[in-house]
Amino acid sequence: MEQTLIRKLIEQKYYDTLSNGLRVINRTIDSPYYYKDQVGTVSLQGGFQVYYAESDSSYFLYLKKADTLALLNETTNSTSLHHLGNVTEDAKKYFILGHDNGNGSPYSYEFIDKQGRKNPLGYGVEFLDYKSLNETPYLLYSDTMINGRTQLVLFNTDNKRKEFYELKNNLWELYIDTLTDKYLTIKFSLNR
> How many CA atoms does the CB half-sphere of 69 hold within 13 Å?
15
Question: What are the residue boundaries of the structural domains of the chain, listed by start?
Answer: 1-119, 125-191
Asked if 177 and 186 touch (Cβ cutoff 8 Å), the reply is yes
For residues 90-97, average pLDDT:
93
More confident residue, 36 or 51: 51
More confident residue, 169 or 124: 124
pLDDT surpasses 90 at 15: no
Q: State the pLDDT at residue 45.
A: 96
16-24, long-range: CB < 8 A, 24+ apart = 18/51, 18/53, 18/62, 18/64, 18/69, 19/67, 19/69, 20/69, 22/53, 22/54, 22/55, 22/60, 23/53, 23/54, 23/55, 24/51, 24/52, 24/53
- List, for residues 110-144, the tens digit of each pLDDT value: 999 999 998 898 887 888 889 999 989 999 888 76
In this prediction the pTM is: 0.76
Grouping H, G, I as helix, E, B as strand and the rest as coil, residue 66 is coil
